[in-house]
Chain A
Amino acid sequence: MPHRILVVDDEEPVLFAMRDYFSACGYGVDCAQELEEALALIDNIRYSIVFLDLRLTGIGGVEGLEIVGYVRERCPWTRIVILTAGTTPEVEREAHRRNVDAFLHKPKPLPQLARIAYGLLETVNDTQNASRQNA
Protein backbone atom coordinates (compact mmCIF):
# COMPACT_ATOMS: atom_id res chain seq x y z
CA MET A 1 0.00 0.00 0.00
CA PRO A 2 1.48 3.39 -0.94
CA HIS A 3 2.24 5.88 1.80
CA ARG A 4 -0.46 8.47 2.24
CA ILE A 5 0.32 12.14 2.68
CA LEU A 6 -1.89 14.97 3.91
CA VAL A 7 -1.14 18.54 2.89
CA VAL A 8 -2.84 21.26 4.94
CA ASP A 9 -2.59 24.73 3.42
CA ASP A 10 -5.11 27.43 2.64
CA GLU A 11 -3.43 28.37 -0.63
CA GLU A 12 -4.94 26.41 -3.49
CA PRO A 13 -1.87 26.70 -5.80
CA VAL A 14 0.29 25.12 -3.07
CA LEU A 15 -2.15 22.24 -2.68
CA PHE A 16 -2.35 21.76 -6.43
CA ALA A 17 1.43 21.65 -6.85
CA MET A 18 1.98 19.33 -3.88
CA ARG A 19 -0.79 16.94 -4.93
CA ASP A 20 0.48 16.86 -8.50
CA TYR A 21 4.11 16.30 -7.57
CA PHE A 22 3.68 13.75 -4.77
CA SER A 23 1.01 11.80 -6.67
CA ALA A 24 3.47 11.49 -9.55
CA CYS A 25 6.01 10.17 -7.00
CA GLY A 26 3.56 7.37 -6.19
CA TYR A 27 2.11 8.62 -2.91
CA GLY A 28 -1.55 8.88 -2.06
CA VAL A 29 -2.20 12.58 -1.44
CA ASP A 30 -5.09 14.29 0.33
CA CYS A 31 -5.33 18.05 0.71
CA ALA A 32 -7.23 20.23 3.16
CA GLN A 33 -7.75 23.98 3.12
CA GLU A 34 -9.42 24.29 6.49
CA LEU A 35 -8.53 23.12 9.97
CA GLU A 36 -11.81 21.23 10.49
CA GLU A 37 -11.39 19.51 7.14
CA ALA A 38 -7.88 18.43 8.11
CA LEU A 39 -9.01 17.14 11.51
CA ALA A 40 -11.83 15.13 9.96
CA LEU A 41 -9.35 13.50 7.57
CA ILE A 42 -6.89 12.76 10.37
CA ASP A 43 -9.71 11.12 12.34
CA ASN A 44 -10.60 8.81 9.50
CA ILE A 45 -7.34 8.11 7.66
CA ARG A 46 -3.86 7.14 8.86
CA TYR A 47 -1.25 9.33 7.21
CA SER A 48 2.45 8.68 6.97
CA ILE A 49 3.26 12.39 6.68
CA VAL A 50 1.32 15.58 7.32
CA PHE A 51 2.64 18.78 5.71
CA LEU A 52 1.20 21.64 7.68
CA ASP A 53 1.04 25.36 7.05
CA LEU A 54 0.60 27.12 10.37
CA ARG A 55 -1.35 30.00 8.92
CA LEU A 56 -4.75 28.69 7.96
CA THR A 57 -7.89 30.81 7.69
CA GLY A 58 -8.81 31.87 11.18
CA ILE A 59 -5.70 30.55 12.93
CA GLY A 60 -1.98 31.17 12.94
CA GLY A 61 1.25 31.03 14.91
CA VAL A 62 1.39 28.86 18.01
CA GLU A 63 -2.35 28.27 17.75
CA GLY A 64 -1.68 26.50 14.45
CA LEU A 65 0.50 24.00 16.31
CA GLU A 66 -2.49 22.56 18.17
CA ILE A 67 -2.96 20.16 15.30
CA VAL A 68 0.43 18.58 16.08
CA GLY A 69 -0.86 17.07 19.33
CA TYR A 70 -4.06 16.02 17.59
CA VAL A 71 -2.10 14.07 14.98
CA ARG A 72 0.21 12.50 17.56
CA GLU A 73 -2.70 11.28 19.69
CA ARG A 74 -4.36 9.54 16.77
CA CYS A 75 -1.33 8.11 15.04
CA PRO A 76 1.99 8.36 16.90
CA TRP A 77 4.09 7.30 13.95
CA THR A 78 2.78 9.97 11.56
CA ARG A 79 5.62 12.33 10.63
CA ILE A 80 4.79 16.03 10.85
CA VAL A 81 6.44 18.63 8.65
CA ILE A 82 5.70 22.29 9.24
CA LEU A 83 5.92 24.18 5.97
CA THR A 84 5.14 27.79 6.59
CA ALA A 85 6.08 31.41 5.96
CA GLY A 86 6.30 34.58 8.01
CA THR A 87 6.66 32.80 11.31
CA THR A 88 8.63 33.79 14.42
CA PRO A 89 11.54 32.08 16.26
CA GLU A 90 9.17 31.55 19.23
CA VAL A 91 6.79 29.55 17.07
CA GLU A 92 9.66 27.51 15.64
CA ARG A 93 10.98 26.76 19.14
CA GLU A 94 7.51 25.75 20.28
CA ALA A 95 7.15 23.49 17.23
CA HIS A 96 10.40 21.71 18.09
CA ARG A 97 9.30 21.44 21.70
CA ARG A 98 6.25 19.59 20.42
CA ASN A 99 8.51 17.22 18.48
CA VAL A 100 7.61 18.08 14.92
CA ASP A 101 9.82 16.11 12.56
CA ALA A 102 10.85 19.07 10.39
CA PHE A 103 10.27 22.83 10.36
CA LEU A 104 10.67 24.34 6.89
CA HIS A 105 10.30 27.87 5.61
CA LYS A 106 8.45 28.56 2.38
CA PRO A 107 9.23 28.55 -0.42
CA LYS A 108 10.93 25.18 -0.83
CA PRO A 109 11.51 23.41 -4.16
CA LEU A 110 9.33 20.35 -4.55
CA PRO A 111 12.28 17.95 -5.16
CA GLN A 112 13.75 19.06 -1.83
CA LEU A 113 10.44 18.37 -0.09
CA ALA A 114 10.34 14.97 -1.77
CA ARG A 115 13.82 14.13 -0.45
CA ILE A 116 12.81 15.14 3.07
CA ALA A 117 9.60 13.10 2.77
CA TYR A 118 11.54 10.08 1.54
CA GLY A 119 13.91 10.29 4.51
CA LEU A 120 11.04 10.57 6.98
CA LEU A 121 9.16 7.70 5.37
CA GLU A 122 12.16 5.46 5.89
CA THR A 123 11.76 6.08 9.61
CA VAL A 124 8.00 5.41 9.36
CA ASN A 125 8.79 2.04 7.77
CA ASP A 126 11.27 1.27 10.56
CA THR A 127 8.72 2.19 13.25
CA GLN A 128 6.02 0.09 11.63
CA ASN A 129 8.33 -2.91 11.25
CA ALA A 130 9.39 -2.60 14.88
CA SER A 131 5.75 -2.46 16.07
CA ARG A 132 4.89 -5.53 13.98
CA GLN A 133 7.78 -7.46 15.51
CA ASN A 134 6.75 -6.44 19.01
CA ALA A 135 3.09 -7.29 18.39
Chain B
Amino acid sequence: MIHKTLLDRMLEPGGLSVLFQPIFELKEEGWRLHALECLIRGPRGTNIEQASILFDYARKKREESLVDRACLTTVLKEAAKLPGEAHLCINVHASTLGRDHGFAAFVKEMAAEHAISHSRLTIEIVEQVPFWDGPSFSNTLEEFRSTGIQIALDDVGLGQSNYRMALYCRPDYFKVDRHFVQGSHKDVYRQAILESISLLARRFSARVVVEGIEMVEDLDATTSMGIDLVQGYLLSPPITGPELIEKGFLEGRIIFPREASHPVTVF
Protein backbone atom coordinates (compact mmCIF):
# COMPACT_ATOMS: atom_id res chain seq x y z
CA MET B 1 0.00 0.00 0.00
CA ILE B 2 1.44 3.36 -0.99
CA HIS B 3 0.94 6.20 1.41
CA LYS B 4 2.58 9.53 2.09
CA THR B 5 5.33 9.10 4.63
CA LEU B 6 5.78 11.53 7.47
CA LEU B 7 8.86 12.77 5.68
CA ASP B 8 6.72 13.64 2.63
CA ARG B 9 4.26 15.51 4.85
CA MET B 10 7.07 17.33 6.64
CA LEU B 11 8.55 18.54 3.37
CA GLU B 12 5.25 19.74 1.91
CA PRO B 13 4.76 23.53 1.87
CA GLY B 14 3.53 24.51 5.33
CA GLY B 15 4.57 21.14 6.78
CA LEU B 16 6.94 22.74 9.27
CA SER B 17 6.35 25.72 11.53
CA VAL B 18 8.56 27.73 13.89
CA LEU B 19 8.35 29.01 17.44
CA PHE B 20 10.90 31.41 18.88
CA GLN B 21 12.20 31.13 22.41
CA PRO B 22 14.01 34.25 23.59
CA ILE B 23 17.44 34.04 25.20
CA PHE B 24 17.85 36.95 27.61
CA GLU B 25 21.01 38.77 28.65
CA LEU B 26 21.52 40.49 31.97
CA LYS B 27 22.09 44.19 31.41
CA GLU B 28 22.42 47.00 33.96
CA GLU B 29 18.67 47.65 33.90
CA GLY B 30 17.55 44.02 33.85
CA TRP B 31 17.09 41.19 31.34
CA ARG B 32 16.94 42.09 27.67
CA LEU B 33 16.62 39.97 24.51
CA HIS B 34 19.96 38.62 23.32
CA ALA B 35 18.87 36.09 20.69
CA LEU B 36 16.03 33.85 19.58
CA GLU B 37 16.31 30.09 19.53
CA CYS B 38 14.27 28.94 16.54
CA LEU B 39 12.32 25.81 17.42
CA ILE B 40 10.76 23.69 14.72
CA ARG B 41 7.41 21.96 15.00
CA GLY B 42 6.30 19.19 12.63
CA PRO B 43 3.01 18.90 10.75
CA ARG B 44 0.05 19.49 13.08
CA GLY B 45 -1.78 16.42 14.28
CA THR B 46 1.05 14.03 13.42
CA ASN B 47 3.41 12.10 15.67
CA ILE B 48 6.24 14.39 14.66
CA GLU B 49 4.56 17.63 15.68
CA GLN B 50 6.77 17.35 18.77
CA ALA B 51 10.34 18.31 17.88
CA SER B 52 12.06 15.51 19.83
CA ILE B 53 10.11 12.87 17.90
CA LEU B 54 10.55 14.72 14.61
CA PHE B 55 14.36 14.78 14.94
CA ASP B 56 14.48 11.23 16.23
CA TYR B 57 12.46 10.15 13.18
CA ALA B 58 14.80 12.06 10.86
CA ARG B 59 17.84 10.37 12.45
CA LYS B 60 16.26 6.93 12.14
CA LYS B 61 15.55 7.55 8.48
CA ARG B 62 19.11 8.88 8.14
CA GLU B 63 17.68 12.03 6.62
CA GLU B 64 19.14 14.56 9.06
CA SER B 65 20.60 16.66 6.27
CA LEU B 66 17.36 16.84 4.26
CA VAL B 67 15.39 17.72 7.39
CA ASP B 68 17.97 20.25 8.62
CA ARG B 69 17.83 22.00 5.24
CA ALA B 70 14.03 22.09 5.34
CA CYS B 71 14.08 23.42 8.92
CA LEU B 72 16.64 26.09 8.08
CA THR B 73 14.60 27.26 5.09
CA THR B 74 11.45 27.48 7.22
CA VAL B 75 13.23 29.32 10.04
CA LEU B 76 14.82 31.95 7.80
CA LYS B 77 11.58 32.53 5.93
CA GLU B 78 9.69 33.13 9.21
CA ALA B 79 12.51 35.13 10.81
CA ALA B 80 12.61 37.44 7.79
CA LYS B 81 9.06 38.55 8.68
CA LEU B 82 10.17 39.84 12.10
CA PRO B 83 11.04 43.50 12.54
CA GLY B 84 14.52 44.41 13.73
CA GLU B 85 17.74 42.49 13.58
CA ALA B 86 17.35 39.82 16.26
CA HIS B 87 20.09 37.24 16.48
CA LEU B 88 18.90 33.74 15.47
CA CYS B 89 20.03 30.38 16.84
CA ILE B 90 19.27 27.50 14.50
CA ASN B 91 19.58 23.82 15.47
CA VAL B 92 21.59 21.60 13.12
CA HIS B 93 22.74 18.00 13.56
CA ALA B 94 26.49 17.43 13.84
CA SER B 95 26.07 14.65 11.27
CA THR B 96 24.71 17.18 8.74
CA LEU B 97 27.75 19.39 9.27
CA GLY B 98 30.01 16.39 8.76
CA ARG B 99 28.32 14.72 5.82
CA ASP B 100 26.53 17.44 3.87
CA HIS B 101 29.44 19.17 2.21
CA GLY B 102 27.19 21.80 0.65
CA PHE B 103 25.45 22.76 3.88
CA ALA B 104 27.48 25.90 4.67
CA ALA B 105 26.94 27.19 1.13
CA PHE B 106 23.23 26.39 1.46
CA VAL B 107 22.98 28.41 4.69
CA LYS B 108 24.70 31.39 3.07
CA GLU B 109 22.48 31.17 -0.01
CA MET B 110 19.28 31.02 2.10
CA ALA B 111 20.44 33.88 4.33
CA ALA B 112 21.09 36.01 1.24
CA GLU B 113 17.68 35.12 -0.18
CA HIS B 114 15.96 36.35 2.98
CA ALA B 115 18.28 39.35 3.48
CA ILE B 116 19.54 38.07 6.83
CA SER B 117 23.15 38.99 7.56
CA HIS B 118 25.56 36.27 8.63
CA SER B 119 26.39 38.13 11.83
CA ARG B 120 22.80 37.48 12.98
CA LEU B 121 23.19 33.70 12.75
CA THR B 122 24.35 31.09 15.23
CA ILE B 123 24.42 27.43 14.24
CA GLU B 124 23.48 25.41 17.31
CA ILE B 125 24.98 21.95 17.07
CA VAL B 126 22.79 19.14 18.35
CA GLU B 127 23.58 15.44 18.37
CA GLN B 128 22.08 12.54 20.19
CA VAL B 129 23.95 9.68 18.56
CA PRO B 130 27.64 8.85 18.24
CA PHE B 131 28.94 10.54 15.14
CA TRP B 132 32.32 11.54 13.94
CA ASP B 133 33.74 12.79 10.69
CA GLY B 134 36.33 15.16 12.08
CA PRO B 135 37.94 16.88 9.09
CA SER B 136 34.74 17.41 7.13
CA PHE B 137 32.92 18.62 10.24
CA SER B 138 35.73 21.08 11.09
CA ASN B 139 35.84 22.39 7.51
CA THR B 140 32.15 23.19 7.55
CA LEU B 141 32.47 25.00 10.89
CA GLU B 142 35.46 26.95 9.57
CA GLU B 143 33.41 27.99 6.57
CA PHE B 144 30.74 29.35 8.93
CA ARG B 145 33.26 31.15 11.12
CA SER B 146 35.00 32.80 8.17
CA THR B 147 31.70 34.43 7.18
CA GLY B 148 30.81 35.64 10.67
CA ILE B 149 28.33 32.91 11.55
CA GLN B 150 28.73 31.85 15.18
CA ILE B 151 28.68 28.35 16.67
CA ALA B 152 26.84 27.12 19.75
CA LEU B 153 27.16 23.71 21.34
CA ASP B 154 23.79 22.48 22.61
CA ASP B 155 23.04 20.20 25.57
CA VAL B 156 26.55 20.57 26.99
CA GLY B 157 27.21 17.78 29.47
CA LEU B 158 24.76 15.32 27.94
CA GLY B 159 25.21 12.56 25.38
CA GLN B 160 27.62 13.39 22.59
CA SER B 161 27.92 17.04 23.59
CA ASN B 162 31.15 16.37 25.43
CA TYR B 163 34.74 17.63 25.73
CA ARG B 164 35.72 16.15 22.37
CA MET B 165 32.88 17.99 20.67
CA ALA B 166 33.88 21.21 22.46
CA LEU B 167 37.44 20.77 21.26
CA TYR B 168 36.45 20.37 17.64
CA CYS B 169 33.64 22.95 17.65
CA ARG B 170 35.42 25.68 19.61
CA PRO B 171 31.98 27.14 20.20
CA ASP B 172 31.09 30.76 20.80
CA TYR B 173 28.35 29.59 23.15
CA PHE B 174 28.08 26.65 25.55
CA LYS B 175 24.39 25.90 26.07
CA VAL B 176 23.85 24.03 29.32
CA ASP B 177 20.99 21.56 29.46
CA ARG B 178 18.17 22.08 31.96
CA HIS B 179 19.21 18.91 33.75
CA PHE B 180 22.11 20.78 35.36
CA VAL B 181 20.20 24.03 35.83
CA GLN B 182 16.92 23.12 37.47
CA GLY B 183 17.37 22.89 41.22
CA SER B 184 20.89 24.34 41.06
CA HIS B 185 20.04 26.89 43.77
CA LYS B 186 19.97 24.13 46.39
CA ASP B 187 22.38 21.58 44.94
CA VAL B 188 26.12 22.11 45.41
CA TYR B 189 26.93 19.41 42.83
CA ARG B 190 24.94 21.14 40.12
CA GLN B 191 26.59 24.40 41.13
CA ALA B 192 29.99 22.73 40.77
CA ILE B 193 29.17 21.58 37.24
CA LEU B 194 27.85 25.01 36.23
CA GLU B 195 30.97 26.70 37.61
CA SER B 196 33.15 24.21 35.78
CA ILE B 197 31.38 24.87 32.45
CA SER B 198 31.64 28.63 33.06
CA LEU B 199 35.37 28.32 33.56
CA LEU B 200 35.68 26.13 30.47
CA ALA B 201 33.74 28.69 28.43
CA ARG B 202 35.93 31.55 29.64
CA ARG B 203 39.06 29.67 28.55
CA PHE B 204 37.42 29.15 25.13
CA SER B 205 36.53 32.89 25.00
CA ALA B 206 32.94 31.72 24.79
CA ARG B 207 29.76 32.49 26.70
CA VAL B 208 27.42 30.26 28.68
CA VAL B 209 23.67 30.07 28.14
CA VAL B 210 21.67 28.18 30.76
CA GLU B 211 18.46 26.55 29.55
CA GLY B 212 15.35 25.53 31.43
CA ILE B 213 15.15 28.39 33.94
CA GLU B 214 11.75 28.02 35.57
CA MET B 215 12.36 29.29 39.10
CA VAL B 216 13.54 32.69 40.33
CA GLU B 217 15.86 30.87 42.77
CA ASP B 218 17.67 29.10 39.90
CA LEU B 219 17.88 32.38 37.98
CA ASP B 220 19.48 34.04 41.01
CA ALA B 221 21.83 31.10 41.57
CA THR B 222 23.13 31.02 37.99
CA THR B 223 23.41 34.81 37.85
CA SER B 224 25.48 34.80 41.02
CA MET B 225 27.92 32.45 39.24
CA GLY B 226 28.44 35.11 36.58
CA ILE B 227 26.21 33.47 33.95
CA ASP B 228 24.40 36.28 32.18
CA LEU B 229 22.57 34.49 29.34
CA VAL B 230 19.45 32.56 30.24
CA GLN B 231 16.53 30.84 28.58
CA GLY B 232 13.44 29.27 30.11
CA TYR B 233 9.74 29.42 30.82
CA LEU B 234 10.27 31.80 33.75
CA LEU B 235 11.30 34.48 31.28
CA SER B 236 9.40 33.31 28.19
CA PRO B 237 8.13 30.05 26.70
CA PRO B 238 8.56 29.44 22.97
CA ILE B 239 6.20 31.85 21.19
CA THR B 240 5.12 32.71 17.68
CA GLY B 241 6.48 35.62 15.67
CA PRO B 242 3.37 37.80 16.25
CA GLU B 243 3.50 37.09 20.01
CA LEU B 244 7.15 38.07 20.01
CA ILE B 245 6.27 41.41 18.46
CA GLU B 246 3.33 41.92 20.81
CA LYS B 247 5.49 41.37 23.91
CA GLY B 248 7.96 44.02 22.78
CA PHE B 249 11.02 41.81 23.17
CA LEU B 250 12.31 42.75 19.72
CA GLU B 251 12.29 46.41 20.72
CA GLY B 252 14.55 45.73 23.68
CA ARG B 253 11.91 45.59 26.38
CA ILE B 254 13.44 44.90 29.79
CA ILE B 255 12.00 42.18 32.00
CA PHE B 256 12.85 41.50 35.64
CA PRO B 257 14.30 44.99 36.27
CA ARG B 258 17.34 44.93 38.56
CA GLU B 259 15.58 46.74 41.43
CA ALA B 260 12.87 44.10 41.70
CA SER B 261 13.60 40.90 43.55
CA HIS B 262 10.74 39.14 41.80
CA PRO B 263 9.47 39.07 38.23
CA VAL B 264 7.34 42.01 37.25
CA THR B 265 6.17 40.34 34.07
CA VAL B 266 3.76 37.47 34.28
CA PHE B 267 3.39 35.22 31.27
Residues of A within 8 A of B56 (CB): 39-40, 43-44
List which B47-74 residues lie within 8 A (CB) of chain A. 47-48, 50, 52-54, 56-57, 60-61
Question: Does A37 touch B at the CB level, under 8 Å?
Answer: yes
User: Size class of B's contact patch?
Assistant: 10 to 19
CB distance from B108 to the nearest CB of A (A): 31
- Given known contacts A10-B3, A11-B1, A12-B3, A36 and B61 CB-to-CB distance under 8 angstroms: yes
Residues of A within 8 A of B60 (CB): 35-36, 39-40
**In terms of DSSP, what is the predominant structure of the interface of chain B?**
helix
CB distance from A29 to the nearest CB of B (A): 11
CB distance from A40 to the nearest CB of B (A): 4
Encoded as 1 (CB less than 8 Å from any A CB) or 0, chain B from 16 to 58 comes to 0000000000000000000000000000000110101110110
Task: Find out whether the CB atom of A40 lies under 8 angstroms from the CB atom of B47.
Answer: yes
Task: Find out whether the CB atom of B3 lies under 8 angstroms from the CB atom of A41.
Answer: no
Q: How far is the CA of A30 from the CA of B48 in the complex (A)?
A: 11
User: Which of A12, A31, A37, A43 has the largest number of chain B CB atoms within 10 A?
Assistant: A37
Give the contacting residue for B52; candidates A10, A44, A57; CB below 8 A.
A44
Question: Does B6 touch A at the CB level, under 8 Å?
Answer: yes
CB distance from A61 to the nearest CB of B (A): 17
Question: Does A32 touch B at the CB level, under 8 Å?
Answer: yes
Encoded as 1 (CB less than 8 Å from any B CB) or 0, chain A from 100 to 119 comes to 00000000000000000000
Question: Does B5 touch A at the CB level, under 8 Å?
Answer: yes
List which A19-36 residues lie within 8 A (CB) of chain B. 30-36
Task: Find out whether the CB atom of A10 lies under 8 angstroms from the CB atom of B47.
Answer: no
Residues of A within 8 A of B1 (CB): 10-12, 57
Task: Find out whether the CB atom of A30 lies under 8 angstroms from the CB atom of B47.
Answer: yes
- Given known contacts A30-B47, A32-B47, A37 and B3 CB-to-CB distance under 8 angstroms: no
Q: How far is the CA of A57 from the CA of B4 in the complex (A)?
A: 11
List residues of B whose CB falls within 8 A of some A CB.
1, 3, 5-6, 47-48, 50, 52-54, 56-57, 60-61
List residues of A whose CB falls within 8 A of some B CB.
10-12, 30-37, 39-41, 43-44, 57
6 closest A-B pairs (Cβ-Cβ)? A40-B56, A36-B60, A40-B57, A36-B61, A40-B53, A39-B60
